[in-house]
């Protein structure tokens, strides 16, 4: 019991001494107290805040995105065991497909992919406002998988083209297109690379 009393007395003296010392430091040497205080963390640098919605950006760009519908006739051979005359052994099958493009000029030039229009006979373009028009191929390049179409319509919305130096790796980008025939679907990603070259897969590169 005596040992417990001695321990309590020792702890009481230590606490009182510590409080007294702290009071003296704060009262007589406030500058020392400031140095002894733990430094406050610096506020984080304010950066750009990601928008809660990209709806405004989609509404600006989507009117210039078109849905492309194609039809082509592909040979369909008749089975050898067929009893039809030889001249009718070779038939044709009607194929339909779809893709996306973007209006780049008010006079109706559309950028799309080569594989969308390769080997097709008929091309129809559906616009954001509901208009549908036939399109013709102006040019196509299988190496870069790019093609240019032309439609003869008035009052066409045009997508602005960003200058190359303003596009940086890591920038957020939106993709709007006719995925799986569902017109004007939207997805999001980031720019993964710019200025790629020496890929040794194309005769010309640097994109």
Mean pLDDT of the chain: 75
- What is the pLDDT, as a whole number, of residue 52? 78
- In our burial notation (b when 16+ CB lie closer than 10 A, e otherwise), range 10-36 reads eeeeeeeeeeeeeeeeeeeeeeeeeee
pLDDT for residue 35 is more than 70: no
Q: How many residues does the chain have?
A: 207
Cα-to-chain-centroid distance, residue 32 = 55
Alpha-carbon distances of 176 from 55, 64, 156, 187, rounded to whole Å: 12, 10, 17, 7
pLDDT, residue 167, reads 82
Q: Kindly tell me if the per-residue pLDDT of 192 is higher than 70.
A: yes
Per residue in 73-116, pLDDT (tens digit) is 666 655 555 555 555 555 656 667 888 999 999 999 999 999 99
Of 116, 120, 118, nearest to 71 by C-alpha is: 120
Q: Residue 31's pLDDT band (boundaries 50, 70, 90)?
A: low
Domain spans in the chain, listed from the N-terminal domain onward: 55-73+92-152+159-190
Question: CATH for 55-73+92-152+159-190?
Answer: 2.40.10.120
CB 44, CB 37: distance < 8 Å: no
Per-residue pLDDT tens for 45-78? 555 666 778 888 888 888 999 999 988 766 665 5
Per-residue pLDDT of 121-168, as tens digits, reads 899 999 988 999 999 999 998 888 899 999 999 999 998 777 766 788
- 9: pLDDT strictly greater than 70: no
């Amino acid at each position: 019991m005596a040992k417990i009393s001695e321990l309590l007395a020792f702890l009481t003296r230590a606490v009182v001494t510590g409080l007294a010392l702290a009071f003296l430091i704060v009262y007589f040497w406030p500058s020392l107290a400031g140095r002894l205080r733990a430094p406050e963390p610096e506020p984080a640098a304010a950066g750009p805040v990601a928008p809660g919605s990209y709806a405004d950006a989609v509404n600006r760009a989507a009117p210039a995105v078109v849905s492309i519908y194609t039809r082509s006739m592909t040979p369909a051979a008749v089975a050898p065991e067929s009893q039809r005359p030889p001249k009718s052994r070779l038939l044709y099958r009607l194929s339909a497909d779809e893709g996306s493009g973007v209006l780049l000029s008010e006079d109706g030039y559309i950028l799309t992919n080569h594989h969308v229009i390769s080997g097709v006979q008929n091309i129809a373009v559906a616009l954001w406002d509901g208009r549908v028009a036939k399109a013709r191929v102006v040019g196509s390049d299988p190496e870069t998988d790019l093609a240019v179409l032309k439609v003869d319509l008035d009052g066409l919305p045009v997508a602005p083209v960003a200058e190359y130096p303003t596009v940086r790796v890591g920038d957020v980008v939106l993709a709007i297109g006719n995925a799986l025939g569902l017109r004007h679907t939207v997805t999001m990603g980031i720019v993964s690379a710019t200025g790629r070259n020496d890929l040794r897969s194309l005769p010309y590169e640097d994109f």
